[in-house]
A and B are shown apart, each in its own frame.
Chain A
């Protein structure tokens, strides 16, 4: 085995500096539930590991001045679960993150790692995309903000430039009677990669849906924002015809890789089915909230 250097800086600048200086030979370590598995399997052989968990901003959960949430990229699902209000406002985001792995894995796994690992089936990402979350990224050339759906560019690939570190996710403030939900099609449960994942975020005015965002995972090379599905829901009473239309939009958006976990036809159909079921849960929650 080759020697591996390990640093755990306490400031973001140090982290970015060490990461950028290693020029591609370094890897960021958040929870390590992807990275360590990949290292043990010999898939990646970093010369330097930059552990970001000691950087306060990356491990913080804060309210924004606008009334939204900012979540550090390295916050684990278990920590987010314990936050007193986050799960009440964003139950769908939280349930996506805490579908990952098992209790042990959730104690480590972060949404930032889930995003930067670049899996099209990443469970926490559709929820963040549906939420309209913004990713803050910092690199040698400073800070920038991009919508979460623009981070992944393909399986295992992201739009992060060399030396850039994902810092946090910012979720917008929530109007009354808003909620969200995430469902994945589970041929089995938590230890598996979703065949299809669907997140829906809604704002309701009585029985009428006034705003919606829909995101699908595992049906294309990246997590998708499905605007046509959202359009089909907005300003409707989420009646069967609108749901059918939204489901059809989800099916149409699918561009899955045919693999042994599910054929194209199946994923495509199930994407529509999940849209309907997720919407029903989100609407129920929104009316209650």
Chain B
């Protein structure tokens, strides 16, 4: 596909059209929405990780100034917040699925669990009144760590009888054991994938409204997928039919996964609005976000890699414990299983793989997908154990990767863990990254650093991920309770401008630009004639939203199909007007021309004719120019690449500085290189954050001790060098655009590159392991211990 003829087509670094409104404070976020007569909700949350609620006395709160209502779990008899993915244990039994009431009933299960809602004229009134609610708790021992929880001494959910949600496996264990028995060497590793708090810039918010005249509910919410929320909340929690429920996700300030899920507060404000006869707004403050947004990662892994005498990988065996937190968040069960264990081949030809995943309930905030979702966990595991194997066998860490890469001519490539990769060239991205990172000059830089008393290290990650989520038939067979197609509608207006309705949702990704570029490219229209509309279930036909780097690969493809239908229809109209056969009409540069003649019609003329059909043959040609398409992908997409990190460590203070970070990513065709670069930057920042800074720590009683920005170290610009980000590589073979997705690669590829670099720097001083986050104190202590 050539560059866009208008300079705004595919491949052009068009400036983001949405940025003007964001940068000038004109965005319209949920908290900016104020409905007439609006009241405010404050959620009283549990201060205990695990306790019985023996009584709640809210009489004083109900009598307080401005208070309209107080509701508890006993008042709110509605359905359970549903889980969207069912996993079966290896014995065939379905996962244990506890009830998840929006307001706790009888028991609280984590610090932050919703106990009551106070609704008042102002937020301060609601908050003040909440202080006067007397809740008597009988504090119970908390199952905080996964190892504690596995003993079942304290049950998070008494009624399901165990804290083990499921015990799942994938792969051929017998083949793995057989290969292990013949191995020349077995490398073993134990890893912790640290718990993270997503911390989108905009905290969650929700406004619920009920129109007594029409019986229609409206929920404005900070969601990545308003149709999914409408379905889950309407059908499972509140029993509101979809035609009476509108869900609007307006501008949303970042999600990173944490705004996929259906949260209690959405149901609470929607349910309570008709009860008090006024709209209700709830906005989380930052401290509340820390203890109520779904957390990310939190896995413990043990892995063993078998190698032959030449360093070829024979088998990989993995045991994982995955923390689910206190309840099953919407997609939690698929994260450690189908989004993680299925990726354990990575970029390598390992012929036999087996993984066992135990998902465990604990008295902590629910854990779900966070940028990368499962793939960072498997990538971290693979790239750490490969480095470890290189050191143990004495094979160079780049060479061992090369020896085991899936060759570029081996695609499509079937892995032993379900997935079939369609394309990739891992050798190519590795060698480009090696050049950009100036690996050749590293020894000299290391020596120079040593002369200043500093330790330099270099770490690699030759990663792969699966995104473009996802083929419905595949995910359905794996337990998804939804299809993961996407839809688009292209509405051409009489004067030739276009509104696109997409079922994906942009919360920072720049769809208003990228999707408009697709249309500009295909229809030859200027960007300003194209509007991208998303986020309102009353406008958009349907959609599964945005996560899993799916918007372009699935939503963009749906859009292209709808655009192609527009072109087909427009050709018929042009053929009619130009008195030719539709087969003879060519569409180029915005004009419909009868092949081989100078008879032609501009796109705008065709559009106008479509809506002024004075002499249409109505049995053959309908008026109007408005088409939609639903697209279900044939496979996941498989971005991959190479990240190289160079660090310098101050051994006296343990401070690690990232000196250089090189990313060469194969994300398929690039629509807007500037947006792609931005996505990789953001992902790498989060990946380095996980590797060096971020950690959601609980104390033994189940209190989140890193519950604010004072304690939870978010990465900032001055923690990073300027990243070297480039893209190159192969096209996806099963979508017409050839796109793979770029939203998550940065967060997936980078953490092991950083930690491998840290270990490389410390290796000569005797340090053999490092866990995330590699804080100064941890690095320093490791150096002391090694001395």
Contacts and interface: CB of A to CB of B under 8 A. Distances in A.
A62 B97 CA distance: 70
A263 interface: yes
Contacts, number: 47
B639 to A, nearest CB: 30
B711 A185 contact: no
Task: State the majority secondary structure of interface residues on A.
Answer: loop
B652 A1 contact: no
Contacts of A186: 655
Given A262-B777, A266-B777, A266-B780, A185 B653 contact: yes
How many B residues are at the interface, by size bracket?
Answer: 20 to 34
B713 A188 contact: yes
Given A266-B654, A266-B781, A187 B775 contact: yes
Nearest to B718: A189
Interface stretch (B49-57, B541-549, B607-615, B702-710): B702-710
B452 interface: no
Contacts of A257: none
A117 B39 CA distance: 37
Given A189-B716, A189-B718, A263 B710 contact: no
A187 B128 contact: no
A187 B713 contact: yes
Nearest to A1: B124
A27 to B, nearest CB: 20
A187 B776 CA distance: 6
Interface string A1-20: 10000000000000000000
Given A266-B781, A273-B653, A185 B706 contact: no
Contact of A1 (B128, B697, B781, B784): B128
A269 B719 contact: no
B404 to A, nearest CB: 37
Contacts of A187: 655, 713, 775-777
Nearest to A277: B652
B710 A192 contact: yes
Contacts of A263: 777, 781
Interface in A156-197: 185-189, 191-193, 195
A265 interface: yes
A83 interface: no
Contacts of B719: 188
A4 to B, nearest CB: 13
B697 to A, nearest CB: 7
B42 to A, nearest CB: 13
A260 interface: yes
Nearest to A269: B780
B128 A260 contact: no
Contacts of A248: none
Contacts of A273: 652-653
A148 interface: no
A94 interface: no
A270 interface: yes
B672 to A, nearest CB: 32
Nearest to B651: A273
A260 B697 contact: yes
Interface in B623-676: 652-655
A246 to B, nearest CB: 15
Contacts of A265: 781, 784
A266 B775 CA distance: 12
A189 B705 CA distance: 20
B64 interface: no
Contacts of B200: none
A2 to B, nearest CB: 9
Contacts of A193: 710
B428 interface: no
A188 B716 contact: yes
A1 B706 CA distance: 28
| Interface-centre pick from A185, A188, A260, A269 (highest chain B CB count, 10 A) | A188
Contacts of B128: 1
A192 B716 CA distance: 12
Nearest to B128: A1
A189 B654 CA distance: 15
B503 to A, nearest CB: 39
Contacts of A262: 777
A270 B653 contact: yes
Interface in B693-739: 693, 697, 705-706, 709-711, 713, 716, 718-719
Contacts of B718: 189
A79 to B, nearest CB: 25
A185 B718 CA distance: 15
A273 B783 CA distance: 15
A265 B128 CA distance: 43
Contacts of B716: 188-189, 191
Contacts of B710: 192-193
B228 to A, nearest CB: 35
Interface string B64-86: 00000000000000000000000
Nearest to B711: A260
Contacts of B776: 185, 187, 195, 266
Nearest to B779: A266
A40 B718 CA distance: 29
A20 to B, nearest CB: 30
Contacts of B780: 266, 269-270
A91 to B, nearest CB: 21
Interface in A254-283: 260-263, 265-266, 269-270, 273
| Interface-centre pick from B710, B719, B777 (highest chain A CB count, 10 A) | B777
Contacts of A269: 652, 780, 784
A273 B650 CA distance: 11
A193 B697 CA distance: 18
Interface string B442-475: 0000000000000000000000000000000000
Contacts of B713: 187-188, 192
Interface string A80-96: 00000000000000000
A111 to B, nearest CB: 21
A192 B710 CA distance: 6
A195 B778 CA distance: 14
B705 A260 contact: yes
A233 B552 CA distance: 65
Given A189-B718, A265-B781, A260 B709 contact: no
Contacts of A270: 652-653, 780
A266 B653 CA distance: 8
A189 B657 CA distance: 13
Nearest to B650: A273
A8 B652 CA distance: 48
Contacts of A189: 716, 718
Given A263-B777, A269-B652, A273-B653, 7 more contacts: A186-B655, A188-B719, A189-B716, A191-B709, A195-B777, A263-B781, A270-B653
15 contacts: A1-B128, A185-B653, A185-B776, A187-B775, A187-B776, A188-B693, A188-B713, A189-B716, A189-B718, A191-B716, A260-B706, A262-B777, A263-B781, A270-B653, A273-B652
Interface of B: 124, 128, 652-655, 693, 697, 705-706, 709-711, 713, 716, 718-719, 775-777, 780-781, 784
- In the A-B complex, the 5 residue pairs with the smallest Cβ-Cβ separation, listed nearest first, are A273-B652, A266-B777, A262-B777, A187-B776, A189-B718
